[in-house]
Structure 1
């Protein structure tokens, strides 16, 4: 077995093998949603190896070698094309890199999703860790969480299962309980920010998908969307949270929203607990 989890399918020290993951991701991808693959009479149960090779611009033999767990110097360009073809989530893309080449990707997300190309992931994580004890996290343009510190995970365990902040706010029932005054203080400002970013980046596919998914799945979001409110950011806003880690006690926080000078495609959020407000609650 190679050190990247290649040949053995089960019980490996590294968890699931790369071949097992690739086959699972390939079989769940519907070819009918991919232009050029939707041929008449074709079944929709996943992609073939030939499909994936065609979508990534390599030979079927080349892709087959990867799916068999054969070790090679697979390029970042190829792995990113593969991530796109298999429609991988950010966490799945990171797993692909770790299993295939033994390291994390330089970019946490493909540029299509709104991630700046020159982000130093290590420096970003150090910055987030240096905000302790304040919870801090970073998102890309489409509100995918690309980094967080330990206090953030304690306050919001959902980041381990739902990597998009906006989708959690609107599509997870627990958000209505955890975010005090959900509609006025959280949902409407978020939709206003989404409308603002859509106006600034009208052709961004990740933002378009986010808008479509939220409005299709949340009647409350559709009603609020019709207000046509536009909000740039929530920096300095005072908000309240009801935290499970504190047995439902309300916590008042000031939202500190930052963006690097080099790019407006990255957000860094720090939640600073307001002790005066907590004391008065």
Structure 2
């Protein structure tokens, strides 16, 4: 538990909540004048034993239940990044899932300009794999530039995907299905993901692969065979990231290289050059 950081986060957010907004009144005579809810009032609103919140904010509550942390996050109107910080400060781990079911469904509009400015194939999906934005290079990947509305559904259930995603059953499906399984675990109430899972069960070939499970392998850095609608067969190198304010969303950049031959050796991992940093410090 990071007591100092946890205390600072909770105190700051608690001070922003007017007691009057929850039916409490401020003392008019001598008494507490600090802004925001009192610790006692937090316990009352959360229906917890008196002193529960004080233990957490003071750093004397080891391994608090995530149900308590979630209730506090909702009461304090934390955003997803603050929710992540709350879990890390108190439990030294990321949250078990998003704070709100609506999280991961939208991204700031500036992402459209950012994606349009990328030369390579680029697109962003939300936490349900619904397409949020893409550039023209992504549209050119598909016949008649007809982009899928949900990339997960397209990859697994649209027959046309088997032509675009070359070696579909061996080069793509084993890495796609674990991602879907992990997303459903994190978002059990997501109806879009649930519908995809139900539809998969009706396709024996995919249902069998889905039941087998498999490790969750992030696509970042993968090379896979791909047939481009305009450029023909080739290889796709996948770069993946996540917009910070939308947990579960994904931003992809795909470097496509036409030709039957697989690209050369995978570039080495990028690491900071510590010696260069030290040299700059000596000469700075």
Report the TM-score range of the alignment, normalised by the length of the smaller protein: 0.5 to 0.7
What is residue 130 of structure 2 aligned with on the other side? 144
Cα gap change, 1:159/1:230 in structure 2, threshold over 3 Å: closer, same or farther? farther
What is residue 29 of structure 1 aligned with on the other side? none
What is residue 130 of structure 1 aligned with on the other side? 117
Larger helix proportion of the pair: 1
Cα gap change, 1:219/1:158 in structure 2, threshold over 3 Å: closer, same or farther? farther
Gaps of 5+ in 1: 1-110
Cα gap change, 1:230/1:154 in structure 2, threshold over 3 Å: closer, same or farther? same
| 2:213 counterpart of 1:225 | no
Distance 1:253 1:185 in 2: 11
What is residue 157 of structure 2 aligned with on the other side? 171
Q: Which has the higher contact order (CA 8 A, sep 6+)?
A: 2
What is residue 242 of structure 1 aligned with on the other side? 227
Cα gap change, 1:244/1:274 in structure 2, threshold over 3 Å: closer, same or farther? closer
| 2:172 counterpart of 1:186 | yes
**Alignment partner for residue 115 of structure 1, among 104, 109, 115?**
104
Q: Cα distance, 1:225 vs. partner?
A: 0.8
Distance 1:155 1:143 in 2: 18
TM-score when normalising by structure 2? 0.52
Conserved 8 A contact 1:112-1:206:
no
Conserved 8 A contact 1:113-1:141:
no
Query: Secondary structure of 2:212's partner?
Result: coil
What is the count of residue pairs matched by the alignment? 165
Gaps of 5+ in 2: 1-99, 265-284
Q: Cα distance, 1:229 vs. partner?
A: 1.2
* CA RMSD, 1 decimal: 2.6
Runs (4 or more) in structure 1 with deviation over 4 Å come to 111-114, 274-281
TM-score when normalising by structure 1? 0.53
What is residue 241 of structure 2 aligned with on the other side? 258
Cα gap change, 1:113/1:233 in structure 2, threshold over 3 Å: closer, same or farther? farther
Distance 1:146 1:173 in 2: 22
Alignment of 1:18-167 (within 5 A): 115-116=104-105, 119-121=107-109, 123-132=110-119, 134-157=120-143, 160=146, 162-167=148-153
